[in-house]
């Protein structure tokens, strides 16, 4: 039995970790989330990942997914073409606390990123034979695999949550923002603001069969939402407003927006914008709602 209905408004893939995303009309679910999501990553000469946190101009690297390659474009740069079926020598890289196997993408890609971002860098691709798992503290019995995502295969946010943020930004005299700042994979519509915080399992019926996702952890926010994805300019308005209402005790008071999710069912099935979905509340939230309803009835 479902508690709430919604619709899948849009799907987003981020081929190169911390670079711009791509809105897609269809996305295949694989073990690590959406196909090609965070499949590539930029690393320093020691193999340690870099992100917009230290290099905001990464936001200006814009990918296009094509049948046989990914094309990367950036201001003042010739396009860089990455073949989907080609890698070079293997190496070890670090993403957060995980050291994982990967493949170097060669000197041309390394020079392209080094020239645009102004320091020595290389581009690597995740080794799909490796299983990098999310924290069992949050996923429980589920072995949730990741490529180069921060720690979970999928991120879910809603238009209702963005509307509430923009309402508060307007009240503070600030300009509205888009969900591009929060880098979700799935955007849901038809939910109240931050209703995703209270949901347990999302279900979609696709032509290929059911897809089931479990929302497992609120997504703590670093300074990246204050980086304008169109200009790479760094501000503070988003963080300031979130600080007024989004501290989450579940993650030690961190400011959160959106929910990390894992795949329960649906590998090799495709999601498409417009799909109707339904969800159940988390057990603790369902109890709270029933108690509130009983109190109101009394």
Model pLDDT, residue 170: 98
3-class secondary-structure state, position 283: helix
Give CA–CA dist 132/139, Å, rounded. 13
Give CA–CA dist 259/75, Å, rounded. 32
Nearest to 199 by CA among 290, 286, 287: 286
Model pLDDT, residue 1: 57
Give CA–CA dist 115/149, Å, rounded. 25
| Tens place of pLDDT per residue across the chain (298 aa) | 579 999 999 999 999 999 999 999 999 999 999 999 999 999 999 999 999 999 999 999 999 999 999 999 999 999 999 999 988 999 999 999 999 999 999 999 999 999 999 999 999 999 999 999 999 999 999 999 999 999 999 999 999 999 999 999 999 999 999 999 999 999 999 999 999 999 999 999 999 999 999 999 999 998 999 999 999 999 999 999 999 999 999 999 999 999 999 999 999 999 999 999 999 998 776 544 543 343 334 4
Model pLDDT, residue 269: 98
Cβ atoms 95, 39 nearer than 8 A = no
Task: For residue 170, give every residue at least 6 positions away whose Cβ sits within 8 Å of its Cβ, in sequence order, or none.
Answer: 176
Nearest to 75 by CA among 97, 60, 93: 60
Residue 249 main-chain phi, psi, to 5 deg: -65, -25
Pairing of strands 22-24, 4-13: antiparallel
Cβ atoms 160, 192 nearer than 8 A = yes
Question: Where do runs of H (alpha helix) occur along the chain?
Answer: 107-117, 136-139, 159-171, 237-242, 283-297
Tokens, residue 172 = 């503070």
Model pLDDT, residue 285: 61
Give CA–CA dist 154/32, Å, rounded. 8
Model pLDDT, residue 288: 45
Nearest to 221 by CA among 54, 95, 53: 53
3-class secondary-structure state, position 45: coil
- What separation in angstroms does the CA of 228 have from each of 17, 116, 174, 178? 17, 18, 13, 9
Model pLDDT, residue 283: 77
Nearest to 261 by CA among 180, 178, 184: 184
Cβ atoms 218, 259 nearer than 8 A = yes
Cβ atoms 17, 61 nearer than 8 A = no
Tell me the DSSP string of 129-146.
TS-EEPPHHHHTT---EE
């Amino acid at each position: 039995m479902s508690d709430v209905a919604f619709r899948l408004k849009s799907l987003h893939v981020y081929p190169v970790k911390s670079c711009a995303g791509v809105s897609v009309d269809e996305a295949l679910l694989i073990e690590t989330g959406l196909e090609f999501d965070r499949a590539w990553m930029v690393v320093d000469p020691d193999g340690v990942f870099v992100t917009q946190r230290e290099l905001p101009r990464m936001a200006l690297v814009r990918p296009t997914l094509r049948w046989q390659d990914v094309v990367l474009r950036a201001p003042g740069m010739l396009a860089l073409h990455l073949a989907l079926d080609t890698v070079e020598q293997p190496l070890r890289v670090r993403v957060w606390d995980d050291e994982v196997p990967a493949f170097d993408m060669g000197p041309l890609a390394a020079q392209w990123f080094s020239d645009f971002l102004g320091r020595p860098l290389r581009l690597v691709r995740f080794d799909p034979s490796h299983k990098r798992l999310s924290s069992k503290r949050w996923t429980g019995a589920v072995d949730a695999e990741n490529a180069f995502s921060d720690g979970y295969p999928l991120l879910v946010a809603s238009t209702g949550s963005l509307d509430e943020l923009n309402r508060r930004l307007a009240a503070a005299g600030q300009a509205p923002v888009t969900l591009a700042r929060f880098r979700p994979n799935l955007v849901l519509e038809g939910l109240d603001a931050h209703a995703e915080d209270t949901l347990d399992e999302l279900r979609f019926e696709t032509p290929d069969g059911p897809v089931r996702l479990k929302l497992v952890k609120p997504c703590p926010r670093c300074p990246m939402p204050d980086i304008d994805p169109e200009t790479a300019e760094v501000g503070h308005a988003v963080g300031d407003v979130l600080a007024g209402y989004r501290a989450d005790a579940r993650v030690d008071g961190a400011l959160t927006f959106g929910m990390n999710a894992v795949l329960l069912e649906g590998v090799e099935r495709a999601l498409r914008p417009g799909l109707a979905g339904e969800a159940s509340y988390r057990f603790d939230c369902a109890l709270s709602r029933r108690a509130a309803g009983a109190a109101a009835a009394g």
